[in-house]
Structure 1
Amino acid sequence: MKFCSSCGSTVEFRVPPGDALPRHVCPTCSTVHYQNPKIVVGALAEWEDRILLCRRAIEPRLGMWTLPAGFMENEESTAQGAARETLEEACARIEVGPMYTLIDVPAISQVHIIYRARLLDLDFRPGEESLEVALFAEADIPWEQIAFRTIAMTLRHYFDDRRSGNWSFHTGCITAPPPAGGKPVPAG
């Protein structure tokens, strides 16, 4: 950040009074510009024994598969964001269920929250950010083409829970930076 969004002056990067961390501070109007983690919300949408996945039409991970998910917007709940992202990316209507995974990704300052959800019908198609949308049974999941480690982790928990019949809320943290070259981490 170079300029204050309140008055346009050049900002300084320093610890403001009463704080413990350096922030972008405007010396002219004293506005402290906080940069906080982004929240990614999404849905693990179920139809019978299959899960809805989207093949990405945008970077990062263009052409790879993911659950419908994206950045939370202001003035919406995390559940509302998960439903909105599913509608935007898969043109799919869902009934949002319980929060299923919450995974911290500190290396990129993000928190990923995925809800279990139920597809309301089979009227879905790719949205602007998806090349393709499809339902996958566990045996057909393209593990080597899953875009993000948080999604692979969520899917592994889901299929393990489904096999055991013991549903849990899962938390986790991915502490290592993404692999070099942008290649996905295998599921197994």
Structure 2
Amino acid sequence: MCYCTSSRTVGRSFPRVDGYKYCPFCQTKLILLESGQKPRQTCPGCGFTQYKNPSPVISVIIADKDRILLGKRIGSPGAGKWAIPSGYIEYEDDFISTAILEAKEETGLEIEITSILNVISSFVSPSFHFLAIYLEARVLGGKLIARDDLEDAKWFSVSGPLPEMAFQEDVDALEMYAKKEVTGLPVDQRYARQVNKNRESW
């Protein structure tokens, strides 16, 4: 893991995407070759091409009438600052189940995802690129308690003022949400691998 020093995400922890220097199949040293109008690390031996893809993450705006829930982060990244509950989408998980699990782990609340609010590309540095899905959710049950990587969790007025925020992307998302500049789209529960246990899976 690397701790980014970008002014937008000071202290945030990210997976590196520098990738391989040697081919994972034949161990030949990779070289830069033009592929799809972009230079890519390519194996001259077996033809393996290395692609750098963004890391998908979810951020969940948990709303209750005119309030939104924020968590105060403990330790790095974003120590002592507030953020929207969020997390990485693991390869075997879907984004809906990831959002529900992250909310439960960080806040103790059981939620239902009600809409997709926005999708943004966050270019932190040449080595870090994230595709962030902002979701809206409502509370179904549970008891609010900060845990996992949060030292506190509180409700704040959606119209502000906001506490000291860890990430500018969250500030922008909440400002748009408060002004109703984003219209949520429905989520299709049929494609939630963990929510729908009966759906055929690989």
Question: What is the deviation of 1:84?
Answer: 2.2
In the alignment, does 2:58 pair up with 1:41?
A: yes
Is 2:69 the partner of 1:52? yes
TM-score, structure 2 as length reference: 0.69
CA distance in 2, matches of 1:92, 1:141: 24
Look up the match of 1:146. 165
Q: Structure 2: any 5+ residue segments left out of the alignment?
A: 1-19, 186-202
Please tell me whether the aligned partners of residues 62 and 138 of structure 2 are also in contact (alpha carbons under 8 angstroms). yes
Partner Cα separation in structure 2 for residue 34 and residue 88 of structure 1? 32
Give yes or no for contact 2:118–2:182 (8 Å, CA) kept in 1: no
1:111 corresponds to: 131
Deviations 1:91-134 (A, max 9, x none): 32110011012122234411211111001125132232112111
RMSD: 2.5
> C-alpha displacement at 1:54, in angstroms?
0.9
Secondary structure at the aligned position of 2:38 is classed as coil
In structure 1, how many angstroms separate the alpha carbons of the residues matched to 2:31 and 2:149?
35
For the structure 1 residues 167 and 30, does the alpha-carbon distance in structure 2 shift closer, same or farther, using more than 3 Å as the test? closer
The letter of the residue matching 2:131 is V
| Identity across the alignment (%) | 26
Q: Distance in 1 between matches of 2:50 and 2:109?
A: 37
Structure 1 portions without partners, runs of 5+: 171-188
Contact 1:42/1:83 (CA < 8 Å) preserved in 2? no
Q: Which has the higher strand share?
A: 2
In structure 2, C-alpha distance between the alignment counterparts of 1:97 and 1:11, rounded to whole Å? 48
Greater shift in the superposed pair: 81-90 or 67-76: 81-90
Q: Which residue of 1 aligns with 2:43?
A: 26
Whole-Å separation in 1 of the counterparts to 2:103 and 2:28: 40
Aligned length: 163
| Structure 1 pair 26–90 and aligned structure 2 pair: CA distance change class (3 A) | farther
More helix by share: 1
